C-alpha cells in the first residue's frame, strides 16, 4: 500500500508533516538552507527580535539523560536578516517557509509584523508568546489578559493568517482560558504546542554543578522529558479550538512520536532536540519511520488517523 505523507493547510503544501522547531538549526541562512535541502516538509526561522541579539552567555545548551536543557535567550540576526532571507527565498519552487517573531516588547512585535505585512510574502508568520529564557521577562502566554491584549493589537496591524507559539499548560482551566482567548481571533489560524518546559534544572552529579550558565542553571527542558506534556497540549487545543490548526512540538525523535502527535490532533510536527543532536538527516529517518508505521497500521494518509485518539 502506498502511503501519502503530504499535508495541505492554509495554502501551504508540505510533502510530509515534519519541520524544524524554531530555535534549532535556523539562526543563519546556511542553517535554514540546510533544513530546506533536507527531507523536512517545511522550515521556520529562529524567533527574531527587532535588533540582533547575542543571547545568553555560554554554555547555554546541554544534553541531558532524557533530552536537553537550554537557555539560549533568543540569539538571532535581527528581523531584517530574516525578512531579507524570506524576500530572496524561492517560494514557488522551495518548501514552505515560516517566520517566527518574538519582540522584546509589544511595540517591537507590531513594528516587525508591519514590515512582514508590507513585504507581502507568501510565508506564514508565527508569533512567539512563550520564550522561557529571557531573565526578568515573563512569558506572555501565561497571562491570559496580556495575551488577549497583545493579539488585539496584532490583528490591527497584521491582517493575514498567522499563528502563535505557546508555552506548555498543565491545568484544564488554563487550557480552556487560553483557548477562549485564541478563539476570539479569526485570523489566528494555528498554534504551535509546545515551547520547552520552562525553568527546569539539570545537575551533573560528578561535578555537583549545574550544566548551563544562565539563570543559575535554570533552562527550558526538551526531548523525552516533555513528550507527555506536549501530547496533552496538542490534544487539548485540538479539542478546544475552533477552525484552527495545531502544530505538535516536543519529544519527537522517531516516527512513533510523530505518529502520536498527529493522532492527538497535530496537522504537522516540529523536531527540536533530536534535530540539534542528530542534524538534518533526522528528517529522512523520521519520515521513513512514520511511513512504515502507517503502512503497518493500514493508514494511507495522515487524515486517516489525525485526531482520532481513543479514550477509555
Going from the N-terminus, what domains does the chain have, and what CATH number goes with each? Answer: 7-304 (3.20.20.70)
Asked if 69 and 221 touch (Cβ cutoff 8 Å), the reply is: yes
Q: What is the pLDDT along the chain (312 residues), one digit of tens a residue?
A: 899 999 999 999 999 999 999 999 999 999 999 999 999 999 999 999 999 999 999 999 999 999 999 999 999 999 999 999 999 999 999 999 999 999 999 999 999 999 999 999 999 999 999 988 888 888 999 999 999 999 999 999 999 999 999 999 999 999 999 999 999 999 999 999 999 999 999 999 999 999 999 999 999 999 999 999 999 999 999 999 999 999 999 999 999 999 999 999 999 999 999 999 999 999 999 999 999 999 999 999 999 999 999 999
Q: Note the residue count of the chain.
A: 312
The answer to whether 301 is annotated as binding is no
Between CA 276 and CA 62 the distance in angstroms is 11
The answer to whether 251 is annotated as binding is yes
Please list the active-site residues: 131
Asked if 97 and 89 touch (Cβ cutoff 8 Å), the reply is: yes
The answer to whether 165 is annotated as binding is yes
Picking from 130, 69, 132, the residue whose alpha carbon sits closest to that of residue 272 is: 69
Tell whether the torsion through CA atoms of 226, 228, 232 and 234 is positive or negative: positive
pLDDT of residue 70: 98
Tell whether the torsion through CA atoms of 1, 271, 41 and 235 is positive or negative: positive
The answer to whether 46 is annotated as binding is yes
Residue listed under C-alpha cell 504537522: 268
Q: What is the CA radius of gyration of the chain?
A: 18
The answer to whether 297 is annotated as binding is no
Asked if 287 and 46 touch (Cβ cutoff 8 Å), the reply is: no
Copy the grid coordinates of residue 231.
501530547
Q: At what angle do helices 172-183 and 144-157 cross, to 10 degrees?
A: 20
Amino acid at each position: 500500500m502506498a502511503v501519502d505523507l503530504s499535508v495541505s493547510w492554509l495554502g501551504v503544501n508540505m510533502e510530509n508533516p515534519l519541520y524544524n522547531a524554531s530555535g534549532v538549526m535556523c539562526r543563519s541562512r546556511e542553517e535554514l538552507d540546510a533544513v530546506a535541502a533536507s527531507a523536512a516538509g517545511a522550515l521556520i526561522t529562529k524567533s527574531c527580535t527587532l535588533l540582533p541579539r547575542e543571547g545568553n552567555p555560554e554554555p547555554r545548551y546541554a544534553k541531558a539523560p532524557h533530552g536537553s536543557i537550554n537557555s539560549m535567550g533568543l540569539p538571532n540576526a535581527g528581523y531584517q536578516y530574516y525578512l531579507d532571507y524570506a524576500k530572496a527565498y524561492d517560494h514557488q519552487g522551495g518548501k514552505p517557509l515560516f517566520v517566527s517573531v518574538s519582540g522584546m516588547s509589544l511595540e517591537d512585535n507590531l513594528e516587525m509584523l508591519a514590515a512582514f505585512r508590507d513585504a507581502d510574502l507568501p510565508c506564514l508568520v508565527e508569533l512567539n508568546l512563550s520564550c522561557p529564557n529571557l531573565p526578568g521577562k515573563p512569558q506572555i502566554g501565561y497571562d491570559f489578559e496580556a495575551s488577549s491584549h497583545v493579539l488585539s493589537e496584532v490583528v490591527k496591524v497584521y491582517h493575514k493568517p498567522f499563528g502563535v507559539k505557546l508555552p506548555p499548560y498543565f491545568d484544564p482551566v488554563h487550557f480552556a482560558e487560553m483557548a477562549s482567548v485564541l478563539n476570539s481571533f479569526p485570523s489566528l489560524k494555528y498554534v504551535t504546542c509546545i515551547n520547552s518546559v520552562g525553568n527546569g534544572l539539570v545537575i551533573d552529579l560528578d561535578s555537583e554543578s549545574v550544566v548551563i550558565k544562565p539563570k543559575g542553571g535554570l533552562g527550558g527542558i526538551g526531548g523525552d522529558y516533555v513528550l507527555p506534556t506536549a501530547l496533552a497540549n496538542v490534544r487539548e487545543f485540538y479539542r478546544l479550538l475552533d477552525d484552527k490548526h495545531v502544530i505538535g512540538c516536543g519529544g519527537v525523535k522517531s516516527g512513533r512520536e510523530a505518529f502520536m502527535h498527529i493522532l492527538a490532533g497535530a496537522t504537522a510536527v516540529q523536531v527540536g532536540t533530536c534535530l540539534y543532536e542528530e542534524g538534518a538527516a533526522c528528517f529522512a529517518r523520521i519520515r521513513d519511520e512514520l511511513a512504515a508505521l502507517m503502512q503497518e497500521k493500514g493508514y494511507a494518509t495522515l487524515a486517516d488517523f489525525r485526531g482520532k485518539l481513543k479514550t477509555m
